[in-house]
Amino acid sequence: MFRLIYLNDNQTTMEFVVHSLVKHFDYIEPTAEQIANDIHLSGSAVVAVLPYEMAEQKGIEITMAARSAGYPLQIKIEPDLISL
């Protein structure tokens, strides 16, 4: 299993982050807003733990959506050591 992590930046809007969490991970709006706030305050946050192929695909889809909207949002994927 792999952790998909959103990294905070000063250009990607909270609205875009919330929208991406709702669209790509089926979070409800209040939960997505809390995660977006955590990303903003902490600098990053784990948004999902998925099998590698799914984490990689979601990371690519979200990065492409961010670039299309003009945002530099970065996604990091790393092994979830807890699930090992």
pLDDT of 49-61, one tens digit each? 999 999 999 999 9
Class (C level, CATH) for 2-83: alpha beta
Using CA atoms, how far apart are residues 12 and 3, in angstroms rounded to an integer? 21
Using CA atoms, how far apart are residues 81 and 84, in angstroms rounded to an integer? 5
Q: Are strands 44-50 and 74-79 parallel, antiparallel or unpaired?
A: unpaired
Per-residue model confidence as pLDDT tens digits over 23-59: 999 999 999 999 999 999 999 999 999 999 999 999 9
Whole-prediction pTM? 0.92
